Amino acid sequence: MENDEFSKELNVAVRVVHMACSLCEKVQKQLISTNSDQVRSKDDHSLVTVADWSVQATVSWMLAKALGSHISIVAEEDTESLSRPESSSLLARVVDVVNECLAEATRFGLQGPVSALSASQVLDAISRCSSIGGRTGRHWVLDPVDGTLGFVRGDQYAIALAMIDGGDVKIGVLGCPNYPVKDDGLKKYSQQNLILSNKPSGEVGCVMYTRKDSRKAWMQPLIHRDEMLEWPNSAKLIRVSSISNPALATFCEPVEKSNSDHSFAAGVACNVGLRKKPLRVYSMVKYAAIARGEAEIYMRFASSSYKEKIWDHAAGVLLVQEAGGVVTDSGGHPLDFSKGIYLEGLDRGIIACSGHQLHEKLIGAVYASWESSNL
């Protein structure tokens, strides 16, 4: 892909997400073993950890270093609570984690800072990610830790980085530190195994990535310890499943009922002829599972008052599409990433499928089930 458009940006993005995965693995291990104060509650009662701020600061700093300080970044976290006097110890921890990660930049084929960043520089890097996106220009979109609840529980989570140019998603990179590289990993690896075992190098944890119109998607294992990232030599092509029979299809949905109407999804599943129990997974790992052929369907039906954010979908949507799948809203319309930080005009929900046949059947089932919905 060396001569393709956006090859430099993709190269940098993949390496930066590998760095972020390494950072998250260390923080998660500490978080689970110590049950410390590294978790705070945000105003919307969701969870934010040292990892969220540290990943955002690291990715922001590295993208600016590699691509220029003029870049526009749309990301989830801000510095309001982290800047308060009572958060001084938390900020100090974030600064330490960021500098520890940046010090290893050469291992990922990137150039880190000459000297350690100060607290103000770390806060500036986080605050730099305040763009609102839109149809004009180029914007990087980051969810530093997608599936924070999965992260703090030692379960699935993802680092999601995408690039939008002229309103279209051009690059998508998903880092999935707890997602086994081998097929059927979500089904075979329990949460307990992920938490308690020492994850074998090359067997658990991967980064998936793609570029718009490449019609290809790649996956490579995370590097661990003192290994050096060999990109793209360690990558292999991934492809969506060829299953088109609903009775054989595996269906993914969010773990928490607050994130999606499980009962409505169950009705759609029944109407379309799905027979397997839903695979409930935290984070955009659901998109990753479809892209590499481990699952065929992802349905998400949030309440009508909820507004979907672009950082929760951009990287995963492109990954599924370029791996051969289909992603639309529940009315069959393409998702529009050009309206700012929200997916405006979304029709009822989001449906991702491994192929057009399944997708058409699901859209029909949504319409058939809609009158009984309480959304």
Burial of residue 138, with CB atoms counted within 10 A of its CB: 0-12 exposed, 13-18 middle, 19 or more buried: middle
- Cα–Cα dist 156/96, whole Å: 25
Q: Is there a binding annotation on residue 336?
A: no
* Residue type at position 163: M
Q: Which of 49, 52, 58, 79 is catalytic?
A: 52
* Residue type at position 192: Q
The string of DSSP letters for 285-354 reads HHHHHHHTTS-SEEEE---TT---BGGGTHHHHHHHHHTT-EEEETTSPPP---SSSB-TT--S-EEEES
178 near 217, Cβ under 8 Å?
no
Q: Which of 148, 210, 250, 328 is catalytic?
A: 148
CA–CA distance from 306 to each of 65, 158, 342, 348, 370 (Å)? 35, 21, 10, 10, 18
| Structure tokens, 165 | 């140019």
210 is catalytic: no
* 20-50 pLDDT, tens digit each: 999 999 998 888 777 656 677 666 655 678 9
Q: Is there a binding annotation on residue 261?
A: no
* 83-113 pLDDT, tens digit each: 999 999 999 999 999 999 999 999 999 999 9
At 152, give phi and psi (nearest 5°).
Answer: -70, -20
49 is catalytic: no
**Whose structure tokens read 């990715």?**
59
The reported pLDDT for the residue numbered 303 is: 85
Q: Is the pTM of this model over 0.85?
A: yes
* Residue type at position 109: G
The dihedral through the CA atoms of 7, 10, 16, 21 has a sign that is: negative
The reported pLDDT for the residue numbered 31 is: 80
The reported pLDDT for the residue numbered 32 is: 76
- From first to last of its 375 residues, the chain has per-residue pLDDT tens of 455 789 999 999 999 999 999 999 999 888 877 765 667 766 665 567 899 999 999 999 999 999 999 999 999 999 999 999 999 999 999 999 999 999 999 999 999 999 999 999 999 999 999 999 999 999 999 999 999 889 988 889 999 999 999 999 999 999 999 999 887 667 665 444 454 345 655 688 999 999 999 999 999 999 887 788 887 788 999 999 999 999 999 999 998 877 788 988 999 999 999 999 999 999 999 999 999 999 999 999 988 888 999 999 999 999 999 999 999 999 999 999 999 999 998 988 999 999 999 999 999 999 887 765 544
Domains of the chain and CATH, by start? 7-238 (3.30.540.10), 246-372 (3.40.190.80)
The reported pLDDT for the residue numbered 15 is: 97
212 near 322, Cβ under 8 Å?
yes
292 near 209, Cβ under 8 Å?
no
Percentages helix, strand, coil for the chain (3-state, rounded to 5) are: 40, 20, 40
The reported pLDDT for the residue numbered 307 is: 92
Q: Is there a binding annotation on residue 312?
A: yes
- Scored b (16 or more CB within 10 A) or e, 106-132 reads ebbbbebeeeebeeebbbebbbbbebe
Q: Is there a binding annotation on residue 360?
A: no
Total Cβ atoms within 10 A of residue 346: 20
